[in-house]
Amino acid sequence: MAEVVLFHHALGLTPGVRSFAGELRAAGHTVHTPDLYDGRTFTTVEEGVDHARSIGFDTIIARGAAFGEGLPAAVVHAGFSLGVLPAQLLAQTRPGALAALLLEACVPVSEFGGRWPDEVPVQVHGMENDPSFAGEGDLDAARDLVAQAADGELVLYPGDGHLFTDPASAGYDAEQARVLTARVLKFLARF
C-alpha cells in the first residue's frame, strides 16, 4: 500500500477532503493531510483564494514543501486544486517521489524547473468544462505534462464543476466524485 500526502484545496481542510482521505485509508493506504491554513476553512472558492493570496502562494507552497520534507522520499504527492501547487512541486523535484495525483489543477512543468521526472507516474483529473481547470490554462498544462511523462494519464470528466469531489463545494458532483475515487484507488493500488 502507498503512503500519500494529500494537500487540500482553497476551501481548506474540509470534511470533504478528510472524507476522501478516509476512503484512501479504508483501502489500506497511509494518508497525511497537512493543514496549510492553520485550521481555517471557507465556504466559497473566492473566499479561500482571497485567504491564500493574503498568506501568499509562495508561503503555501513552502508550507507544503516543509511538510513533505518530514516524510519518506517514496510518497505519492496528491493535491486538490490549490493543493496541487505543493504536490506538483514535491513530485517533480523531490528525489524518490513515488507518484503524483493532481486533482482539478495542473501548472506548467516549467514552474518547477523543467521536465517531469521519467520515474514518477502521474494522473491528472479535472472536469472538461470547469472554468478554473479548462479555462485558466490548467488543462493545457496537464496535456503537456502527460505528453512528456513516461507514465502519465489525463482523466477528464463531463461537467463544469470545480472541486467536484467535495460536498462542501458548489461544484460538487456525487457521481463523478465516485468515479474519480475509484480511478484514484486503482492508480494507488499500483504502489
- Which residue carries 481548506 as its cell? 12
Domain CATH for 148? 3.40.50.1820
Q: How many domains does the chain have?
A: 1
Q: Which of 178, 184, 132 lies closest to 155, judged by CA? A: 184
- For residue 73, the one-letter residue type is A
**Cβ atoms within 10 Å of 36's Cβ, excluding its own:** 24
> Looking at the domain assignment, is residue 38 inside a domain?
yes
> Looking at the domain assignment, is residue 144 inside a domain?
yes
> Looking at the domain assignment, is residue 77 inside a domain?
yes
> Looking at the domain assignment, is residue 166 inside a domain?
no
> Looking at the domain assignment, is residue 88 inside a domain?
yes
Paired with 155 in beta bridges are 125
> Looking at the domain assignment, is residue 8 inside a domain?
yes
> Looking at the domain assignment, is residue 122 inside a domain?
yes
Domain enclosing residue 41, as ranges? 3-160+184-188
Dihedral-angle region of residue 152 (phi above 0 means left; psi in -120 to 50 means alpha; beta otherwise)? beta
Close Cβ partners of 14 (under 8 Å, ≥ 6 residues apart): 8, 41, 166, 168
> Looking at the domain assignment, is residue 167 inside a domain?
no
- Cα distances (Å, whole numbers) of residue 8 to 69, 119, 147: 17, 25, 26
pLDDT at 42: 94
Assessment of whether the complete model's pTM goes beyond 0.85: yes
pLDDT of the chain, 191 residues: tens digit per residue: 999 999 999 999 999 999 999 999 999 999 999 999 999 999 999 999 999 999 999 999 999 999 988 899 999 999 999 999 999 999 999 999 999 999 999 999 999 988 899 999 999 999 999 999 999 999 999 999 999 999 999 999 999 999 999 998 989 999 999 999 999 999 999 99
Q: Which of 80, 105, 67, 91 lies closest to 149, judged by CA? A: 91
Give the rounded distance of the alpha carbon of 160 from its chain centre: 18
- Using CA atoms, how far apart are residues 130 and 55, in angstroms rounded to an integer? 25
